[in-house]
Amino acid sequence: MIKTVFKWESGMVMVFNKKGEQIPKYQGQYEGVKGSILKDAPPEAVFSHGFRDDFELKVVPREEW
């Protein structure tokens, strides 16, 4: 089950389960995996952006991800 989703400045997406393990089927470029992630992620999943200018992850609402 999806717990945490990271979208990087490059458009690469990384997805982790509650054990902190990556879920390869949801990883890739944003446009290629966005639909399946939004469809399968539970309401409590955490979505975030990681950008190089501030070196911090920013948690964002699912609708803005």
DSSP state letters, the chain: -EEEEEEETTSEEEEEETTS-B-GGG-EEHHHHHHHHHHHS-TT-EEEEEETTTTEEEEE-GGG-
Query: What mean pLDDT comes out for the span 36-65?
Result: 89
pLDDT at 20 over 90: yes
Which among 6, 12, 8 has a CA at the least distance from the CA of 52?
A: 8
For residues 19-47, give the mean pLDDT. 97
pLDDT at 54: 67
pTM of the model: 0.88
